[in-house]
Amino acid sequence: MARTDARYREAYNTLLDYCGRLQVGGAVPSESELADVAGVSRTVVRRCLARLEETGIISWNGRHKRLLKRPANDDRLELLGDRTAAEDLEQRFLEWVLRFDVPADTPLSVAELSRMFSVPQHELKEFLAGLSRFGLVARRPRGGWMLRGFTKEFAVELSDFRKVLELNAVRIATDAPVGHPIWTTLSELRHAHLDLKSRIKTDFHEFSKLDERFHEAINSVVSNRFIAEFQKVISLIFHYHFLWDKADEQERNAAAIEEHLAIIDALEARDPDGAAKAAEKHLRTSKTTLLSSLRYHELG
Amino acid sequence: MARTDARYREAYNTLLDYCGRLQVGGAVPSESELADVAGVSRTVVRRCLARLEETGIISWNGRHKRLLKRPANDDRLELLGDRTAAEDLEQRFLEWVLRFDVPADTPLSVAELSRMFSVPQHELKEFLAGLSRFGLVARRPRGGWMLRGFTKEFAVELSDFRKVLELNAVRIATDAPVGHPIWTTLSELRHAHLDLKSRIKTDFHEFSKLDERFHEAINSVVSNRFIAEFQKVISLIFHYHFLWDKADEQERNAAAIEEHLAIIDALEARDPDGAAKAAEKHLRTSKTTLLSSLRYHELG
DNA sequence: TCAAATGTTTTTAATAATATCAATCATCGA
DNA sequence: TCGATGATTGATATTATTAAAAACATTTGA
């Protein structure tokens, strides 16, 4: 067997419904028309017609098609679900790498990953090929893949790259016109930060989510497909690493809130230099935290 | 058939050569040793041994292997060549897109491309999956791929992204220590620029190559896998677009030489602000040229 | 006896093969 | 004559098959 006939099955049920709305004994429209109704090609329609004839729901003879009886409910074809597995492969893959702390230079077996994530092998290969563009995985000389992994070098390069992108975003944000949605978002974020600050003693773990929202907002002012693509990966990696490092979490998060607020202050004051300085300070802290979380893991 | 047995064929010939250097009547080394010699697994070695025995070149009985006769030249297996096709697929693909000016939103047929570049389909799919990370191609709803292409938006976003990366590189370059290779390279580039400037009237078309060298040198100070990956694509695209736009080529190139020299001056003077300004000016010019070359093509 | 060599089995990655779907072209009939 | 159908071609997604590698088990001979 090759590909699934899910498309045919869905079309068949659609046509069944459609026939249900026709007069018994009346004519069934042309193949092209039915193709439009079901949103598939004529080839699929003809397969459906063949089955409809076989089941005795219609008669079919050249271009003479008649509805013989009203289709019953159990004439419908069952559609095999399970169409969400490949959805968030990226998320699940990175989650696996980070959660289980898969070491650098681990050989990745397409077959094994395919089972683990219940995704067909060829989809995994395409996915890995995509990741290789980010330097996260690489091809091995004689076939197969390997995880280049979260080494110290990787973390440094990632942080530096993030800094380049985000300082650029901050610079652009200060130039955003008054009506730009960023200002509303920033104002909301300020309140969210002040709110969390007031109850940081107990709810400090909520910061991780807030951090993600904050950086996403900053970067949203840059409409650039290249940057956007990277941002997804970057934020995911930073997110997970912060969850890792449990040492001094409350203090770190409290400090980060202040740093965020400083950035918001400078942005709202339309102070490019001040915003850049504040952002730089915050990104330096982030980098340190990322590196220390790696060290922590190496020792553990 | 499934995968090719090219590996086996090559190994067989290697072992044939190896046997040629042994004494006739003498013992043939162990399977593992032969595996090392040919650089393949024992499985392949055993297939080779089986054939060697069949051909009567060796006798094989458990661990007793003897060379019966010196292998002749026509004992060798023919290896189906064509093993360099997939080498620079990226280069060839982009060259095709740019040279033939393939319009945006063109549907890409994997089968057709596979024939065109003589690369197996699955390799092309992996390649396209990689490119999709750069937003150059995208999946179509019902299977297949399409070229998102070199629209105006693409050019703008690419230029902006390049600017972000390259200004960062310039900033880092001014901080490079005295012994850093960049200073030698820059000095060489200065001479090359002055040289070309003196004969710009006739040799202006040489500039494209020099431009590539210059930007590569600037970016070489940044050792970052993410940036490096992008740089390849960016430089290729700019390179081809400059080749396109024939209007005022000599003047444009003469002006660009001055801009490059200004950047080199500022860098050698260790003047970060001056270098950033000069670079920004040059990148603005590049962006304009890229956009005008697109307009030119739209009209043509 | 025990390490090295061989025999056997399992697993993986590369690639051919194929079912499904889409599109085109030729033909037919009202 | 034009719209509908029939036949053909060519594409992609997915399975099946095979070469190669790796893992495991057994044997042999110094």
Decide if pLDDT at A135 tops 90.
no
Nucleotides of strand D within 7 Å of the protein's CB atoms:
3-8, 10-23, 28-29
DSSP-derived letter for residue B103 is: P
Tokens 């046997």 belong to which residue?
Answer: B19
pLDDT interval class at A1 (50, 70, 90): low
User: Predicted confidence band at A83 (pLDDT cuts at 50, 70, 90)?
Assistant: low
Q: Domain ranges in chain A?
A: 6-75, 102-147, 152-299
Which residues of A are less than 8 Å from B164 in CB distance?
164-165, 168, 227
Residues with CB under 7 A from strand C: A 1-8, 40-44, 47, 62, 108-112, 121-122, 125, 143-145; B 1-4, 30-33, 42-43, 46, 62-63, 65, 120, 122-123, 142
Residue A286 has pLDDT above 70, yes or no: yes
Per-residue confidence (pLDDT) for residue A294, from 0 to 100: 76
The tally of CA atoms less than 13 A away on the side-chain side of residue B71 is 25
- Say whether B168 and A164 touch across the interface (CB within 8 A): yes
The pLDDT tens digits of the residues spanning A210-251 come to 999 999 999 999 988 888 888 877 887 887 777 667 778 889
pLDDT for A87: 63
Q: Which of A161, A164, A224 sits opposite B157 (nearest CB)?
A: A224
* Chain A residues in contact with chain B using a Cβ-Cβ cutoff of 8 Å: 122, 125-127, 129-130, 132-135, 154, 157-158, 160-161, 164-165, 168, 223-227, 229-230
Predicted pLDDT of residue A31: 94
CA of A11 to C1' of D5 (A): 20
List of B residues 20-79 with CB within 7 A of strand D: 40-44, 47, 62-64
Query: What CATH class does B89-147 carry?
Result: mainly alpha
d(CA B232, CA B91): 9
- Give me the mean pLDDT over the B36-60 stretch: 94
Q: What is the mean pLDDT of chain A?
A: 88
Q: Tens of pLDDT along B206-254?
A: 998 899 999 999 999 998 888 887 887 788 788 777 777 777 888 999 9
Q: Which amino acid is at A170?
A: V
Higher-pLDDT residue of B167 and B236 is B167
State whether CATH 3.30.70.330 applies to domain A6-75: no
Residue A7 has pLDDT above 60, yes or no: yes
Same CATH topology for B6-75 and B89-147: the answer is yes
Q: Report whether pLDDT(B94) > 80.
A: yes
Confidence (pLDDT) at A2: 67
Residues in chain A closer than 8 A to B225 (CB atoms): 135, 154, 157
pLDDT by residue (tens digit) across B116-158? 998 989 999 999 999 888 888 998 888 899 998 778 888 899 8
pLDDT number for residue A300:
44
Residue of A130, A135, A230 lying closest to B132 (CB–CB): A130
The domain A152-299: what is its CATH number? 1.20.120.530
What does the pLDDT read at residue B1?
60
| Element of type H or E holding B137 | strand B137-139
Across the interface, whether the CB atoms of A127 and B129 are under 8 A apart is answered yes
Tens-digit pLDDT profile for residues A31-73? 999 999 999 999 999 999 999 999 999 999 888 999 999 998 8
Residue B241 or B16, more confident: B16
